[in-house]
Amino acid sequence: MPTLRRDFESRDDLIAHYREQFPEAAAVSDWVSDTRGGRDAAEALLDNVDPVEYGRTRNHLSGAVTRLSPYLRHGVLGLAETRDAALAKVDDPSRAYKLVNELAWRDYYRRVLAEIGDAVWDDREPYKTGLDAEDYADDMPDDVTNAETGNDFVDGSVRELYETGYLHNQQRMKLAAYVVHWRRVRWQAGAAWFLSHLLDGDVASNNLSWQWVASTFSHQPYIFNQENLRQWMGGRFTGDSVGGGSPFRGEYDEIKARIFPRA
């Protein structure tokens, strides 16, 4: 079995090598994320983790999230060592609760995957949106994948996904909700699209999170409104669309009546 080449003169050399090895991927997108691989980069990030600040700010786009996911996904860091590093930074374990709790979600999704295998691509339950699976489109709309919807949150997040291979959890939830509920696309199409761009792309966390948003792995669909979007986006995205208006405007009951007309 051939081993992977490890000796590179420079990062550019490494990037050129992988472009050559994977021409199909390079043809889809020529962007290279700034995220560095390897144990040193992972340990530097782990050193910087602040579990208390994380608990306080993690839902904000500019919050103290760890960005450890690519390293956890590819086995550069273990979940247990990450948990232990977080606990070692606090005098009372309850102060690291939020972070340990999120690590536990990753563990939970892996365990579900171990139970169900390829069925992770099947609806775990029916949609609770008043709609049937057949009511949802099979493919991603081009204006979404081309970042040409005209909505600043959607297009900005899609570009960020392509350029960095990373999205904050709030962006993932809201972009997934937009795709499934506003554009009425089957979650499987969105999940496959995310997996082909995320550096931490993981069929367990990704597919089950998409199913949670869709309501096929939860008791209700995840939706949001303009106010909620602005609350967490730290001024970076407003949710407004070119030409005015926003698909996210209104109270929750009004939005539900628009996007789930048969519920």
CB 26 within 8 A of CB 48: no
- Asked if 240 touches ligand FAD (CB under 6 A), the answer is no
Report if residue 218 touches ligand FAD, rule: CB under 6 A.
no
Q: What is the dihedral of CA 126, 131, 132, 138, to 10 degrees?
A: -110
Contact string (CB under 6 A) for ligand FAD, positions 89-108, x = contact: -------------xx-xx--
Residues in contact with ligand FAD, shown as a per-residue x/- string from 32 to 71 under the rule CB under 6 A: --------------------------x------xxxxx--
- Minimum Å gap between C-beta 221 and ligand FAD is 13
Burial class of residue 3 (count of CB atoms within 10 Å of its CB; 0-12, 13-18, 19+): exposed
Site string for ligand FAD, 171-190 (x = CB under 6 A): -xx--x--------------
One-letter amino acid for residue 199 of the chain: L
**Residue the block writes with tokens 């560095």:** 36
- Alpha carbon distance 90, 88 (integer Å): 6
Distance CA 108, CA 176 (A): 20
Window contacting ligand FAD (CB under 6 A); options: 8-16, 124-132, 204-212, 253-261: 204-212
How far apart, in whole angstroms, are the C-alpha atoms of residue 183 and residue 217? 19
Q: Which residues bind ligand FAD (CB under 6 A)?
A: 58, 65-69, 72-73, 102-103, 105-106, 109, 168-169, 172-173, 176, 194, 198, 200-202, 205-206, 209-210, 213
